[in-house]
């Protein structure tokens, strides 16, 4: 989604802004722009395509200034173009905006009647004109900003500058994340901490409906009705290096390879003999989960798939009925909430608009408590949930979620064990065996990665294919869904995940010699059933790619390509069998020549619904 960077300093800020935009590229965008105040003039440059185009334009044309704002745009209102790119200017004001102004058409008509003219198709240009309009009758820009923001409906993260006041940078947030970065004699604003890591690690998180006024040495925060707010400063544990590609060709590849370490980090300090320490979930005590009678999980995309796996584990290990739902569906229906229900959200970014909206809805419903499983400290979901279980994946830059997913799975397993123990639903022996297995997980993940070359060779056979099916049974069904999502989002090969038992209820009609069918078939309680499904596919002539374990008896024939993966504890299979599917998707994407880390039309952090 769109990215914002703003800076006010006693030095030229244009390189800081451009570097910040580069660091936000992973979020997905189609155009970029920058505006600095120089000699009391607004100098604005915009380009379509990648940030490197903007950097070249700035190098050629120059855009110096001690104060400036910059933006990467992911088109919502109006096509990707230089005219629609941000910043948008009205008179002395320049504005960048993340989010959507829902009543922009109505406001635009009113402003046209008052004599304003518009160049772009965007809602943002309407907003900057609205602020400009109110400035004509207000005591100062802060007043005009507040009046305008109280008139708009929708969501916004904003940064605003005024060429008549080069000593002040304004920012505001409602429904779209925004952070303030604190420097020494300089201050910054951005939609994401990663953008500012080269200049600071000290941050203030703006809450909903807050406005910030920044000078080089002061930050004042107010609510939209003008009440001053005391904010605390949070030190980030990320560093600028956390977003380097190292020796890898793509971020996604690096992040796949980081999984043994990120799984280890997710366990670090959390296992204490046969106990999982209470600090694993921030905010809980030894009785927190004792009365829980039902669990509702809500998430989007890959995080939703993690939730689907979590349902199998939570029901098996806690005996508590667990429901999983896509956030964009949950938020718009009347859910029946059982007494003593726990509401769980799962999100890598902690900023996904639908997941956040579902949490806010859940807080008005009769859930006992809310818990989020999240990778980003300080994110909206973390700040608004009662409890947090942090996945320790580290910064994930590739749009395709990889290490975030496997650490979400591990976190869900730890949570199931914690809840199971508090409810006496799990025996000491079972608990011990699972934790013994969990301790081996990072090393096993490393072993699974060693199949990379074999999987790369297989990926060549997907070249030119248009459609694929991914099959799995039981807890491996959501892994088939995730394998299909990974393949489609980065290689653009159409892929569908199915519960193998559903095959004969429809999808089997698609199968012919042209259709590769990927089967996730580790040795587990359902393997015999799955082998029957494999036979059904084989009988229809499809080429089979079976990801199985070394001892599993899968018929070897020219029609079948079996990848024999290491034997591993059944409880870990969903986590470990994800890795070869990620590698398959990655290599197919590389062979297809797609933009692996920033696939078309996708955004890393989906902050609008
Ligand atoms: O940040 P979140 O985990 O809330 O994001 C949810 C989805 O947008 C995300 O998982 C998306 O599906 C990924 N592109 C999948 O690789």
Among 331, 352, 582, name the best residue to mutate to test ligand 1's pocket (greatest count of ligand atoms within 8 A of Cβ).
Answer: 352
Residue 583 Cα to ligand 1 midpoint, Å, equals 18
Kindly provide the b/e burial profile for residues 156-186, where b requires at least 16 CB atoms within 10 angstroms of the residue's own CB.
bbbbbbbbebbebbbbbbbbbbbbbbbbeeb
* Domains of the chain with bracketed CATH: 3-242 (3.60.20.10), 245-439 (3.40.50.10490), 447-595 (3.40.50.10490)
Quote the tokens at residue 149: 């923001």
Q: Is the pLDDT of residue 8 over 90?
A: yes
Q: What is the pLDDT of residues 301-356, one digit of tens each?
A: 999 999 999 999 999 999 999 999 999 999 999 999 999 999 999 999 999 999 99
Percent of the chain having pLDDT more than 90? 83
Q: How confident is the model at residue 79 (pLDDT cuts 50, 70, 90)?
A: confident
Among 250, 325, 390, 606, name the best residue to mutate to test ligand 1's pocket (greatest count of ligand atoms within 8 A of Cβ).
Answer: 606
pLDDT at residue 236, as a whole number = 85
Residue 528 Cα to ligand 1 midpoint, Å, equals 33
pLDDT at residue 15, as a whole number = 96
Residue 75 Cα to ligand 1 midpoint, Å, equals 19
Q: What is the pLDDT of residues 551-609, one digit of tens each?
A: 777 777 888 999 999 999 999 999 999 999 999 999 999 999 999 998 888 877 787 77
Among 348, 492, 495, name the best residue to mutate to test ligand 1's pocket (greatest count of ligand atoms within 8 A of Cβ).
Answer: 348
User: What atom of ligand 1 comes closest to residue 400's alpha carbon?
Assistant: 16
Nearest 5°: phi and psi at 23? -75, -15
pLDDT at residue 271, as a whole number = 93
Q: Is the pLDDT of residue 244 over 80?
A: no
Mean pLDDT estimate for the chain? 94
Calculate helix-pair angle for 403-422, 301-318, nearest 10 degrees: 20
Most confident of 18-32, 515-529, 551-565: 515-529
**What gap in Å lies between CA 118 and CA 88, rounded to an integer?**
10
Residue 50 Cα to ligand 1 midpoint, Å, equals 22
Q: What is the pLDDT of residues 367-423, one digit of tens each?
A: 999 999 999 988 899 999 999 999 999 989 899 999 999 999 999 999 999 999 999
- Which position has the token pair 């290990």? 317
Residues lining ligand 1, CB < 6 A? 300-303, 347-349, 352, 355, 399-401, 489, 602, 605-606
Q: Which of 254, 311, 562, 604 is catalytic?
A: 604
**What gap in Å lies between CA 296 and CA 335, rounded to an integer?**
10
234 burial level (CB within 10 Å; 0-12, 13-18, 19+) = middle
Q: What is the pLDDT of residues 109-120, one digit of tens each?
A: 999 999 999 999
Among 177, 191, 250, 302, name the best residue to mutate to test ligand 1's pocket (greatest count of ligand atoms within 8 A of Cβ).
Answer: 302
pLDDT at residue 203, as a whole number = 95
Q: Is the pLDDT of residue 240 over 80?
A: no
* Residue nearest ligand 1's atom 12 by CA: 301
Q: How confident is the model at residue 237 (pLDDT cuts 50, 70, 90)?
A: confident
Beta-carbon contacts of 13 under 8 Å, excluding residues fewer than 6 positions away, are 7, 36, 65, 66, 67, 68, 186
**What gap in Å lies between CA 455 and CA 587, rounded to an integer?**
8
524: left (phi over 0), alpha (psi -120 to 50) or beta: beta
pTM reported for the whole predicted model: 0.81
90 is catalytic: no
Q: What is the pLDDT of residues 140-191, one digit of tens each?
A: 999 999 999 999 999 899 999 999 999 999 999 998 889 999 999 999 999 9
Alpha helices by DSSP H, 539-594: 573-576, 578-592
Residue 356 Cα to ligand 1 midpoint, Å, equals 13
* Angle at alpha carbon of residue 598, lines to 594 and 603, rounded to 5°: 135
Beta-carbon contacts of 391 under 8 Å, excluding residues fewer than 6 positions away, are 262, 266, 348, 373, 374, 375, 404, 407, 408, 410, 411
Contact 320, 314 (CB under 8 A): yes
55 is catalytic: no
User: What atom of ligand 1 comes closest to residue 605's alpha carbon?
Assistant: 1
User: What atom of ligand 1 comes closest to residue 603's alpha carbon?
Assistant: 14
Nearest 5°: phi and psi at 287? -110, 0
Residue 193 Cα to ligand 1 midpoint, Å, equals 18
Residue 582 Cα to ligand 1 midpoint, Å, equals 14
Strands 156-162 and 179-182: unpaired
* CA 496 to chain centroid: 22
Contact 198, 244 (CB under 8 A): no
pLDDT at residue 398, as a whole number = 92
Distances (CA, A) of 108 to 51, 125, 134, 154, 176: 30, 9, 14, 15, 22
Q: What value does the mean pLDDT take over residues 479-483? A: 98
- Dihedral sign of CA atoms 209, 213, 217, 218 in order: negative
* Residue nearest ligand 1's atom 9 by CA: 301
Contact 323, 297 (CB under 8 A): yes
pLDDT-wise least confident of 22-26, 186-190, 299-303, 521-525: 22-26
């Amino acid at each position: 989604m769109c990215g914002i960077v703003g800076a006010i300093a006693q030095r030229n800020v244009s390189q800081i802004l451009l570097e910040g935009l580069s660091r936000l590229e992973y979020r997905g965008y189609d155009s970029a722009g920058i505006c600095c105040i120089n000699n009391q003039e607004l100098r604005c440059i915009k380009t379509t395509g990648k940030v490197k185009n903007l950097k070249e334009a700035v190098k050629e044309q120059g855009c110096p200034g001690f104060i400036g704002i910059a933006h990467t745009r992911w088109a919502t209102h109006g096509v990707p173009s230089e005219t629609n790119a941000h910043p948008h200017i009205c008179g002395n004001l320049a504005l960048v905006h993340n989010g959507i102004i829902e009543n922009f058409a109505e406001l635009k008509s009113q402003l046209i009647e008052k004599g304003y003219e518009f160049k772009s198709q965007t809602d943002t240009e309407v907003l900057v004109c609205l602020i400009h309009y109110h400035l004509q009758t207000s005591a100062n820009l802060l007043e005009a900003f507040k009046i305008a923001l109280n008139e708009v409906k929708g969501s916004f993260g904003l940064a605003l500058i005024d060429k008549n006041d080069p000593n002040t940078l304004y920012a505001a947030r409602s429904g779209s994340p925004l952070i303030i970065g604190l420097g020494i004699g300089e201050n910054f604003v951005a939609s994401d901490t990663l953008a500012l890591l080269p200049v600071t690690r000290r941050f203030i998180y703006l809450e909903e409906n807050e406005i910030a006024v920044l000078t080089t040495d002061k930050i004042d925060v107010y609510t939209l009705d003008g009440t001053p707010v005391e904010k605390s400063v949070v030190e980030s544990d990320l560093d600028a290096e956390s977003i380097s590609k190292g020796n890898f060709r793509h971020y996604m590849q690096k992040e796949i390879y980081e999984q043994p370490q990120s799984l280890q980090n997710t366990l670090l300090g959390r296992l204490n003999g046969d106990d999982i320490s209470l600090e694993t979930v921030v905010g809980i005590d030894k009785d927190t989960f004792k009365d829980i009678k039902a669990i509702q999980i809500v998430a989007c995309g890959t995080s939703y798939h993690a939730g689907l796996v979590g349902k199998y584990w939570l029901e098996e290990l806690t005996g508590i009925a667990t429901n999983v739902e896509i956030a964009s569906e949950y938020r718009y229906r009347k859910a029946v909430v059982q007494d003593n229900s726990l509401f769980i959200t799962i999100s890598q970014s902690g900023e996904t608009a639908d997941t956040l909206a579902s949490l806010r809805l859940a807080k008005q419903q009769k859930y006992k408590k809310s818990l989020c499983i999240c990778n980003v400290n300080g994110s909206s979901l973390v700040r608004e949930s009662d409890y947090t279980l942090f996945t320790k994946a580290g910064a994930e830059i590739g749009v395709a979620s990889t290490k975030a997913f496997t650490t979400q799975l591990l976190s869900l397993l730890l949570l199931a064990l914690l809840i199971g123990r508090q409810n006496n639903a799990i025996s000491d022996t079972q608990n011990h065996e699972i934790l013994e297995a969990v301790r081996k997980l990072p090393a096993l993940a490393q072993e699974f990665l060693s199949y990379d070359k074999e999987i790369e060779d297989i990926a060549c056979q997907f070249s030119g294919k248009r459609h694929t099916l991914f099959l799995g049974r039981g807890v491996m069904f959501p892994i088939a869904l995730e394998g299909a999502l990974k393949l489609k989002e980065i290689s653009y090969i159409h892929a569908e995940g199915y519960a193998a038992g559903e095959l004969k209820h429809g999808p089997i009609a698609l199968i012919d010699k042209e259709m590769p069918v990927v089967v996730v078939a580790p040795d587990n309680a359902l393997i015999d059933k799955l082998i029957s499904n494999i036979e059904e596919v084989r009988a229809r002539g499809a080429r089979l790619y079976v990801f199985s374990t070394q001892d599993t008896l899968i018929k070897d024939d020219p029609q079948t390509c079996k990848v024999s993966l290491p034997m591993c504890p059944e409880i870990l299979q969903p986590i470990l069998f994800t890795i070869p599917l990620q590698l398959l998707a990655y290599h197919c994407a590389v062979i297809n020549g797609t933009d692996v880390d920033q696939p078309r039309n996708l955004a890393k952090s989906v902050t609008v619904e």
